Structure 1
């Protein structure tokens, strides 16, 4: 009963923080930065006029780029818009690249500041029109896939750990990702209060979601597990919990899509023909360090050995003196904290959205199955392999098909190795 009260207190505290700290809804707008390519660094282009009009017609809204090349044009409502760069207002010697249209069509959501990009170049400049080599393109998509794969692996290994110990498939795992990202966003952009550095906000968010996961596993799922005749009841409960959390977050955060202010607009770093933004470099570094720390926990600590023992045989582990209930609680804390970490990293690389965890959950399950259900290190490898395969598919097929191709590859692997790539086959019967 104490654990149940702790769960309710944690959830109400998180909901209260969300309700109190959600900033006033940002105005619907279109924005961006105009820069021209140069030999040194891109230079801002000031004084360029842009015209925005709804695709359904109506009044044309105009804006102008400032001294730093930035522009932001408020819009009266959400919807599809045409953004036109007035080429006649470009400074002398600055033009749009050949074949580039001065008009873009974008779909703007309510409360969103939609980013639009117009590449500019010097008139008469000698440009290398040929694209990158095949080897460079392959290396670039492998790099991009590794970034996404590490994020997926971070969340997937938490789900795999929870299943390996408790045999519970937690469909609310995606919402733990979203909650971690939202809490970090709100703490770092809190209206009327201290705006924390993102790293401090992320640490607090991860700890809070870990505590919530521990309370969930102890206060709700353990009593339900002892009363339910089969795990299907628990599966349905976690699906219902997922829906409840998702739409509570929608009610509190609304449908805003927001970036972390410290990682809003960044120029990519280039090396040997490859490009990576500083935020993706941070994501990779944090993910690798966190996964290495998890490996040390599982292999070199007493708690990790106890977790592996309970995962292997709970009855035998309890007979040797291990407190199985405490280990289950700890694994829920660790697994939920890993989900929150994955959510923060996903939001850094992309943006914060109320259903981001739900949209990612399919890839999380795919990584768990591909690596082998219940294998932590196999799940990590499965997440990275999945991310790379998704991006490699874009070299041949349209980018819209990369998710379908990844799922087809997963099905093909499971036809050959039903136990996953990194799990052992077991005899049944």
Structure 2
């Protein structure tokens, strides 16, 4: 029942034994990868895979200005419930299991598009020497399927003044971690309007226990003798922000209704301090003493060299007296005005297993993340520098003749057929 072998039929009868839509680069790659340096549009950054916790970005810049000194995964935790000790007492802190070192080969066309650039990585972890993991990380440009911006300017008489739109595209940096039963897909998406998105998808096999009727209070019966135990996923990120320098402040903005008379007078453009607004994709409320970062949806602290990580490889085995005490980062209550700041972001979700988690948990609905969005950082949307825009204007009332403005070739050309599917899956010590 846990096999990936296809079975059954869809009710509509539409074909499933032919290839679906694919990503292509008809005129070549629009990003540059040199070693671990990546450039795309206004973006530039360096990356690496840390063996303990995984993906790290450094010196993240947009149009030459630094946005973050570091953005990195710190920890992934899973806390289970159940009626038996096996379910009730299960708590995983995956950095302790070498979450960053289990970055196995990515499959072309499935884990990443065929046109992606694949990068090998090396880990020195639980081995006598460095171990090579082929194609453990990939980079590709992704059509988002939704315009980044668009507008149809109707004349309200069956015609229009103009249509304008900009293709939606993003560069994706991706790797995975397979921590025994669970697979995490780690993404960083770079958008041409200066927005950065960090996202994680959870998939793989659910952690299950032997089914007994009293266990249904803590999960779902997913097979004859299998109980899928409910659990909470929590993921912790470090964002060492350097917005236009290292002297940053943190503030929240609250909006309230104001009852005023309309002055009917034009105002001047209001200038605000340059900054970045962070927005998270989820909220979690579980409170467990073994994992202190769970208490903070967002914690902002001053940068200290001895507070480089929020967790460690030892947290699983001694959570009560942890080597890294994240609570102490916050407890010192230092001023965070005009200081070098670090944002610690926690995202997560409650997973109540169900029959559709067989054979594996699917990625839709099981993804969380956050955004770094410019907020009065630029004078206008920086994606105006993209040449992927189209403007259409009618030349007569019937719009039988139109003027089309575009800054890329009129036809993208045919997609290049990829080579045959290959996969090796081994990793080795060199």
Kindly indicate which of the two structures has a greater share of residues assigned to helix.
1
**TM-score higher than 0.5:** no
Kindly indicate which of the two structures has a greater share of residues assigned to strand.
2
TM-score by length of 1: 0.21
